[in-house]
């Protein structure tokens, strides 16, 4: 299992070091610094073996996290643990940066004490952890005995993710459907690959032990119901989506999902990720990029890029950014765009075109003349793809929340009393068009 | 990092910690302790403030306690005597009313890595297992694992009572099972009793968190179902984990299924089909490292089921911003899943990568096309030929190398390759590329019109050539070409040979030159016979293709580091690890390593058991010189004489090694086959008693006469010594 966990800054200084097993010595700390952080070339593999010791490393901004082991462990599990560790730290002090880690170093040691023991991952639910490790230190001094025993029973309790006796004056819940749409398109406008990976994030502020039921326009469910009302299938069939695979937070009863495909659960208190899913069929691609690159002689390039928004005219896309790469030997660029602002950034070798807002079913165009320095380099310019960033207020996969019902049998509030908010956000993942 | 002046830092901190004013001010005190931990993190040796830290552990401030305990766990191995002082405080904390404190103390106490700590932690762990707070029980369960790890196989904690205790825990407190796993993991090495845990755990697995599930799945791997029904019961029970939200659990479940169903290939196949979705999801996930791990496993599956992911080939197209390691894995995957339907698209895509900015990646893509070319030769050769037109160094060299390998395996493409070659020489600078090009020109020179002229350029510049491998290749190639086109080559061959023999400083090249020169002196027919080897070997291609490997061949490696590192690399890593682990325990690791494989496993065990069985213990490093042996031998009387059955010839090495394993030294021995064959052996037991032995093999090789002399007359040790000897000789005789 995990023999030790180290955190470094970009210079290779150790910020945190925690060893769980004797087979990991202090020299492992230095070996990683020398062989990975200080190595000149780019990272060859996220699992590095140095002197028969495996280092699993993950980089967040300029911080390195490395889990170290001498045993034959399963890689997926270790990486998952590192991600979880990052999540937990982020939940405590926000961004993972050198400064934050230095300021919270006692806290991180406390966390490492709880979530890993003898190299085995233990409780890693932020909610549960927060009840007994707080920013300022430990709560337990100011607590009564009952509270203490409550905490420890929750840490390992039957429903690990929720404690009893939660009360809110206003029962409220927020649902965010967050999707990232990924596209790889050929210069001819052919979709090479596209997928949406989405998450349903829920923030619940509900009293007691509420039982929730979540419904969406999953094709299988809709078709099952459609059998009763035959004439409706035609209509609803179009609006339903095929989910390639989906996974749930541990609070969801999987047996029920398998048999009836209904999603029912008792939610943790506060924010959590209810579901994660992936779709590949019938994706609404919010933007199309049509590139046109013409080489005029050896010293000039003409680039014309048209972007078309492909969604309801009443919706507005935001934070649109198109990045058009330019050759290394660019000497000057003239840009003309009808909308937004475009700038040539020499340091990034790209023309960055930003548009604040754009409504659906519109199109916009940019044209640029790129002057090149003559070179005797025979290497042809490889033409990196044009990439795009944006944010749209709908789900590109077509997912819709149909209902979220709340039942609390013991306390007297009903589904109608709960205030619910639903929001859809579609963001670009890797959204590239080759040119 | 304040490596310099660290002594001052330590001194200052020590002073601060002793200062009663600071001790009185809780915040300041904690601050000082924090500084100690900070320096410890940076690698400073802070062990000299151990005493002060032990004092600081007596506090009500739980954060300070945590820090101090962390410090103790780090430095306890260095200061075992001082650490004993801390145990008192720890024991007291183990009965604190606050369960958090109890848990913390117990956890820290079990993590103290120092000799002799077992006797102190045994009772607290037992108490912990019966604690009313589940938090403490959990810590105690892991404490068992730690203790087990500490004491190895010593007698103190035989498993009986512990297993019962744990089993009852499992009954009353389902969630503690969450961490029982860790404990069981340790039991594994012991081969301890696992059966009672299997079913309760498999029923409760769904209540555990993802880490627990992963561990339990791992643990169940060791269970051998007693019947087919039981097997399918388990599989049904665990079915939902193939679709778990955690990729780690999915992989763990897959492995379990593959291994349990090792006799049911259709079930295995079905499982692999079902995890396709989750695996693909992991491959396209945004967490790059996870994606990498998943890709490695996809490759593993493809070895057995080449068509498994073919319809999803687009998922493995690289995107521009992905890190290098993912792109390389994806290219490998693409190369393996290619089939008649997608070959066009895959090649199209790979061609795009060949012009990538990163030279490494571009070359990897070219080699991948070369791999596909073994099946789809024409299309690939065409693409590769087009790439030559780009006239870029790193591309040309990779393409030429691919051509060389291809021509060897698929002779049908020779014609096309020969047509593409002219002009390449301008764009090749590196050693590998030059070697490949020269080889091609030499072997297939008769089909390339300008081959002699290209080689002539190389001969002209041979003085400034830096790689000797290129010169060697050039010699061979030119000689080959000389055989097919003598008129054009004779002159420059002469010049090259002259240079290599007279001016070359690299001895290998010089020797090769001389060798060819003498060969030529022997006559042209001789040369033809020696150099005219076959120009291709298509059968090698079949060998390299490696017909589909059965799933069972890698099932046990699934979800470990083996697919990540590759089988060959893992084998070297783990081999080194093993010798490292065994190294210090054995008196002479080198001799053990060589003797190990010679003696079959079961025999070795028998032999190793034997010394313990009697009251006899032979000293491992007993040394006696031949003269001393002779003197003692002559001065003693034969204490025991016996004739043992024997068959066949003697292999002295085998016998010597086998005797060495049981600590019997061979002093002298006849050559194998000598008549009569004799050997003299010596051994010493722990009381200093010497055993001198003569082995005498009769002429017919059917009987071995054993005579033993002893310097102190003790019948019981003598008889056990003889039984040891008998077993060894019997075992060796059996083998032959």
Summarize pLDDT for A295-354 with one digit per residue, the tens.
888 888 899 999 999 999 999 999 999 999 998 888 889 999 888 999 999 888 899 999
Residue A191 located in a structural domain: yes
Closest CB to B247 among A80, A160, A379: A80
Q: Give the per-residue pLDDT at A381.
A: 72
Mean pLDDT of the residues in chain A: 83
Q: Chain A contacts of B293, Cβ < 8 Å?
A: 46-47, 75-76, 79
Q: What's the CATH number where A388 sits?
A: 2.60.40.1170
Q: For residues B606 and B728, what is the distance between their CA atoms, to the nearest angstrom? A: 9
Q: For residues B398 and B471, what is the distance between their CA atoms, to the nearest angstrom? A: 20
In terms of domains, do B48 and B139 share one? yes
Q: Give the per-residue pLDDT at B197.
A: 60
Q: For residues A328 and A375, what is the distance between their CA atoms, to the nearest angstrom? A: 10
Inspect the interface and report whether the beta carbons of A155 and B135 lie closer than 8 Å: yes
Residue A149 located in a structural domain: no
In terms of domains, do B474 and B364 share one? no
Residue B605 located in a structural domain: no
3-state secondary structure B249-261: HHHHHHHHHHHHC
Residue B372 located in a structural domain: yes
In terms of domains, do A272 and A410 share one? yes
**Burial bucket for residue A143 (CB in 10 Å: 0-12, 13-18, 19+):** middle
In terms of domains, do A89 and A176 share one? no
CA distances from B226 to B217, B223, B234, B261, B339 (A): 18, 9, 11, 13, 41
In terms of domains, do A246 and A306 share one? no
- Which residues are within 8 A (CB) of A320 and not within 5 positions of it... i.e. 6 or more apart? A287, A307, A340, A354, A355, A356, A357, A358, A388, A389, A390
* Domain final residue, candidates A130, A145, A164: A130
* Domain final residue, candidates B427, B462, B497: B427
* Domain final residue, candidates A98, A130, A162: A130
Length of chain B measured in residues: 736
Average pLDDT of span A210-222: 85
Nearest to A207 by CA among A175, A249, A156, A172: A172
**How many distinct structural domains can be found in chain A?**
3
Closest CB to A138 among B63, B281, B577: B63
Q: What is the pLDDT of residues A57-116, one digit of tens each?
A: 998 888 999 999 988 888 888 999 999 999 888 888 888 888 888 888 888 888 888 888
Q: Give the per-residue pLDDT at B615.
A: 56
Residue A139 located in a structural domain: no
Inspect the interface and report whether the beta carbons of A245 and B74 lie closer than 8 Å: no
Most B-contacting residue of A45, A87, A139 (CB-CB within 10 A), to test interface: A45
Q: Give the per-residue pLDDT at B412.
A: 86
Q: Which domain holds residue A89?
A: 4-130
What chain A residue is nearest to B252 in terms of C-alpha separation? A74
Please state the residue numbers annotated as binding site of A. 341, 343, 345, 354, 356
In terms of domains, do B358 and B456 share one? no
Q: Chain B contacts of A276, Cβ < 8 Å?
A: 245
Q: Which domain holds residue B398?
A: 338-427
In terms of domains, do B388 and B501 share one? no
Which tokens in the block code for residue B436?
A: 């490949």
Residue B46 located in a structural domain: yes
Closest CB to B134 among A156, A180, A244: A156
Inspect the interface and report whether the beta carbons of B182 and A120 lie closer than 8 Å: yes
CA distances from B32 to A100, A103, B10, B46, B611 (A): 20, 15, 11, 13, 57
Residue B477 located in a structural domain: yes
In terms of domains, do B96 and B180 share one? yes
* Domain final residue, candidates B510, B533, B556: B533
What chain B residue is nearest to A133 in terms of C-alpha separation? B63
Query: Are the beta carbons of A173 and A415 closer than 8 angstroms?
Result: no
Q: What is the pLDDT of residues B371-396, one digit of tens each?
A: 898 888 888 999 999 988 888 889 99
Residue B252 located in a structural domain: no
In terms of domains, do B457 and B395 share one? no
Kindly indicate whether the ipTM for this predicted assembly is greater than 0.90, answering yes or no.
no
| Helix B247-260, helix B265-274: angle, nearest 10 | 170
Inspect the interface and report whether the beta carbons of A15 and B244 lie closer than 8 Å: no
Residue B347 located in a structural domain: yes
Our measurement of the distance from residue A239's CA atom to the centroid of its chain's CA atoms, rounded to an integer in Å, reads: 26
Which tokens in the block code for residue B410?
A: 């698929």
Residue A107 located in a structural domain: yes
> What ranges make up the beta strands (E) of B507-614?
none
In terms of domains, do B415 and B486 share one? no
Q: What's the CATH number where A49 sits?
A: 3.30.450.60
DSSP code at position A379: P
In terms of domains, do B399 and B487 share one? no
Residue A164 located in a structural domain: no
Average pLDDT of span A377-394: 83
In terms of domains, do A179 and A110 share one? no
Average pLDDT of span A118-130: 79
DSSP A109-154: HHHHHHHEETTEE----HHHHHHH-BTTB-SGGGS-HHHHHHHHHH
Please tell me whether residue B63 adopts helix, strand or coil conformation. helix
Phi, psi of A178 (to 5 degrees): -110, 120
Look at strands A211-216 and A263-265 and give their pairing: antiparallel
In terms of domains, do B710 and B676 share one? yes
A202 conformational bin, left if phi > 0, alpha if psi -120 to 50, beta if neither: beta
Which tokens in the block code for residue B85?
A: 């002082």
Mean pLDDT by groups of 10 residues along chain B of 736 residues: 64 84 84 88 84 84 86 85 82 85 87 78 82 79 74 50 60 47 48 54 70 79 80 84 85 90 87 88 86 91 84 87 89 88 90 86 92 88 89 90 89 87 85 92 88 89 88 92 88 91 90 92 87 74 60 85 85 72 40 36 40 58 76 81 72 75 79 75 80 78 79 79 79 60
Please tell me whether residue B370 adopts helix, strand or coil conformation. helix
Closest CB to B293 among A75, A110, A123: A75
In terms of domains, do B369 and B419 share one? yes
* Domain final residue, candidates A78, A106, A130: A130
Q: Give the per-residue pLDDT at A235.
A: 45
* Domain final residue, candidates B187, B222, B256: B187
Q: How far is A313 from chain B (nearest CA, A)?
A: 31
Check CB contact of B80 with chain A, cutoff 8 Å.
no
pTM: 0.68
Q: How far is A232 from chain B (nearest CA, A)?
A: 30
Q: Give the per-residue pLDDT at A8.
A: 92
In terms of domains, do A355 and A267 share one? no
Residue B308 located in a structural domain: no
Which H or E run contains B644? strand B638-645
In terms of domains, do A245 and A338 share one? no
Residue B460 located in a structural domain: yes
Check CB contact of B209 with chain A, cutoff 8 Å.
yes
Q: What percent of chain A has pLDDT over 90?
A: 29
Phi, psi of B575 (to 5 degrees): -65, -45
**How many distinct structural domains can be found in chain B?**
4
Q: What's the CATH number where B707 sits?
A: 3.30.310.10
Q: What is the pLDDT of residues A134-144, one digit of tens each?
A: 655 433 333 44
CA atoms within 13 A on the CB side of B408: 16
In terms of domains, do A126 and A41 share one? yes
Cα dihedral B3, B5, B7, B11 in deg (nearest 10): -120
Check CB contact of B135 with chain A, cutoff 8 Å.
yes
Closest CB to A74 among B176, B181, B559: B559
In terms of domains, do B70 and B150 share one? yes
Q: For residues B590 and A160, what is the distance between their CA atoms, to the nearest angstrom? A: 53
In terms of domains, do B394 and B481 share one? no
Residues 233-252 of B with CB under 8 A from A: 240, 243-248, 251-252
């Amino acid at each position: 299992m995990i023999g030790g966990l180290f955190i470094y800054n970009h210079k290779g200084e150790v910020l945190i070091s925690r060893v769980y097993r004797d087979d990991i010595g202090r020299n492992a700390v230095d070996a990683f610094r020398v062989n990975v952080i200080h190595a000149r070339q780019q990272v060859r593999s996220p699992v590095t073996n140095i002197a028969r010791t495996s280092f699993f490393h993950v980089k967040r901004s300029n911080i390195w996290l490395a889990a170290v082991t001498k045993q034959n462990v399963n890689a997926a599990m270790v990486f998952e643990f590192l991600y979880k560790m990052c999540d937990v730290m982020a939940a405590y002090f926000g961004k993972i940066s050198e400064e934050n880690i230095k300021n919270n170093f006692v806290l991180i040691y406390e966390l490492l004490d709880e979530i890993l023991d003898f190299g085995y991952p233990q409780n890693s639910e932020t909610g549960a952890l927060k009840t007994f490790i707080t920013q300022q230190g430990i709560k337990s001094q100011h607590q009564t005995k009952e509270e203490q025993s409550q905490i420890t029973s929750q840490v390992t309790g039957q429903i690990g993710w929720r404690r009893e006796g939660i009360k809110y004056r206003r029962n409220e819940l927020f649902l965010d459907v967050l999707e990232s749409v990924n596209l790889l398109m050929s210069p001819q406008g052919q979709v090479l690959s596209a997928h949406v990976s989405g998450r349903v994030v829920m923030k619940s502020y509900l009293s007691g032990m509420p039982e929730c039921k979540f419904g969406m326009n999953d094709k299988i469910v809709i078709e099952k119901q459609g059998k009763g009302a035959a004439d409706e299938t035609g209509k609803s069939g179009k609006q339903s989506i095929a989910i390639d695979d989906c996974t749930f937070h541990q609070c969801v009863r999987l047996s029920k999902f398998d048999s009836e495909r209904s999603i029912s659960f008792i939610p943790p208190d506060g924010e959590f990720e209810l579901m994660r899913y992936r779709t590949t069929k019938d994706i609404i691609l919010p933007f199309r990029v049509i590139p046109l690159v013409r080489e005029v002689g050896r010293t000039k390039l003409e680039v014309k890029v048209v972007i078309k928004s492909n969604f309801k005219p009443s919706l507005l896309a935001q934070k649109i950014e198109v990045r058009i790469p330019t050759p290394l030997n660019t000497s000057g660029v003239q840009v003309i765009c009808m909308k937004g602002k475009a700038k040539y950034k020499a340091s990034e070798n790209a023309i960055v075109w930003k548009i604040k807002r754009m409504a659906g079913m519109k199109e916009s165009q940019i044209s640029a003349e790129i002057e090149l320095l003559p070179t005797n380099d025979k290497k042809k310019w490889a033409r990196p793809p044009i990439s795009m960033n944006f944010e749209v207020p709908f789900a590109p996969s077509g997912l819709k929340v149909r209902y979220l019902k709340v039942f609390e049998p013991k306390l007297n509030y009903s589904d109608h009393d709960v205030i619910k908010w639903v929001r859809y956000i579609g963001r670009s993942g890797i959204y590239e068009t080759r040119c | 990092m304040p490596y310099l002046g660290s002594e001052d830092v330590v001194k200052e901190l020590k002073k601060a910690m002793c200062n009663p004013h600071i001790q009185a001010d809780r915040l300041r005190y904690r601050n000082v302790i924090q500084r100690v931990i900070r320096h410890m993190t940076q690698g400073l040796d802070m062990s000299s403030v151990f005493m002060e830290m032990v004092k600081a552990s007596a506090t009500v401030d739980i954060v300070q306690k945590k820090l101090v305990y962390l410090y103790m766990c780090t430095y306890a191995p260095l200061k075992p005597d001082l650490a004993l002082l801390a145990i008192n405080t720890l024991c007291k904390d183990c009965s604190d009313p606050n369960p958090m404190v109890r848990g913390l103390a117990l956890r820290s106490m079990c993590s103290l890595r120092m000799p002799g700590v077992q006797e102190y932690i045994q009772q607290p762990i037992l108490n912990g297992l019966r604690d009313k707070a589940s938090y403490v029980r959990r810590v105690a369960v892991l404490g068992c694992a730690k203790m087990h790890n500490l004491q190895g196989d010593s007698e103190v904690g035989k498993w009986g009572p512990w297993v019962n205790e744990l089993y009852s825990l499992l009954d009353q407190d389902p969630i503690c099972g969450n961490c029982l796993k860790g404990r069981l993991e340790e039991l594994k090495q012991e081969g301890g009793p696992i059966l009672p845990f299997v079913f309760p755990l498999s029923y409760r697995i769904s209540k555990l968190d993802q880490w627990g599930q992963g561990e339990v799945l791992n643990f169940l791997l060791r269970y051998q179902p007693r019947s087919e029904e039981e097997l399918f019961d388990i599989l049904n029970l665990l079915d939902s984990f193939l679709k778990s939200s955690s990729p780690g659990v999915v992989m763990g479940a897959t492995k379990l299924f593959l291994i349990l169903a090792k006799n049911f290939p259709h079930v295995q196949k079905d499982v692999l089909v079902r995890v396709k979705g989750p695996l693909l999801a992991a491959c396209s996930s945004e967490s790059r490292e996870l994606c990498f791990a998943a890709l490695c496993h996809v490759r593993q599956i493809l070895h057995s089921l080449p068509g498994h992911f073919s319809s999803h080939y687009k998922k493995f197209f690289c995107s521009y911003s992905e890190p290098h390691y993912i792109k390389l894995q994806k290219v490998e995957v693409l190369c393996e899943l290619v089939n008649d339907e997608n070959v066009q698209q895959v090649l199209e895509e790979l061609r795009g990568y060949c012009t990538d900015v990163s030279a490494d990646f571009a070359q990897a893509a070219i080699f991948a096309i070369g791999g596909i070319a073994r099946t789809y030769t024409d299309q690939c050769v065409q693409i590769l030929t087009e790439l030559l037109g780009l006239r870029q160094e790193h591309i040309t060299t990779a393409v030429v190398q691919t051509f060389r390998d291809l021509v060897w395996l698929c002779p049908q493409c020779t014609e096309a390759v020969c047509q593409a070659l002219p002009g390449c020489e301008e764009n090749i600078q590196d050693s590998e590329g030059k070697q490949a090009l020269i080889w091609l020109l030499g072997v297939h020179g008769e089909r390339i019109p300008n081959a002699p002229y290209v080689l002539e350029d190389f001969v002209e510049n041979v003085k400034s050539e830096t790689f000797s491998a290129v010169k060697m290749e050039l010699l061979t190639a030119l000689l080959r070409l000389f055989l097919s086109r003598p008129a054009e080559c004779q002159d420059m061959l002469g010049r090259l040979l002259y240079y290599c023999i007279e001016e070359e400083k690299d001895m290998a090249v010089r020797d090769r030159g001389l060798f060819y020169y003498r060969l030529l002196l022997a006559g042209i027919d001789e040369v033809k016979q020696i150099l005219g080897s076959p120009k291709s070997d298509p059968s090698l291609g079949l060998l390299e293709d490696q017909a589909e490997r059965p799933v069972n061949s890698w099932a046990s490696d699934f979800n470990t580091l083996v697919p990540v590192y590759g089988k060959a690399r893992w084998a070297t890593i783990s081999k080194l690890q093993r010798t490292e682990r065994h190294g210090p325990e054995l008196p002479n690791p080198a001799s053990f390593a060589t003797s190990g494989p010679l003696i079959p496993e079961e025999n070795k065990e028998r032999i190793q058991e034997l010394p313990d069985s009697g009251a006899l213990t032979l000293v491992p490093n007993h040394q006696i010189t031949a003269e001393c042996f002779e003197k003692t031998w002559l001065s003693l009387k034969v204490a025991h004489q016996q004739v043992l059955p024997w068959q066949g010839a003697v292999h002295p090495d085998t016998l010597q090694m086998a005797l060495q394993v049981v600590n019997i030294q061979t002093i002298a021995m006849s050559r194998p086959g000598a008549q009569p064959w004799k050997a003299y052996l010596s051994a010493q037991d722990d009381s200093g008693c010497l055993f001198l032995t003569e082995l005498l093999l009769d002429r017919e090789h059917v009987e071995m006469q054993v005579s033993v002399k002893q310097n102190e007359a003790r019948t019981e040790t003598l008889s056990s010594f003889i039984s040891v000897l008998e077993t060894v000789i019997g075992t060796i005789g059996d083998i032959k």
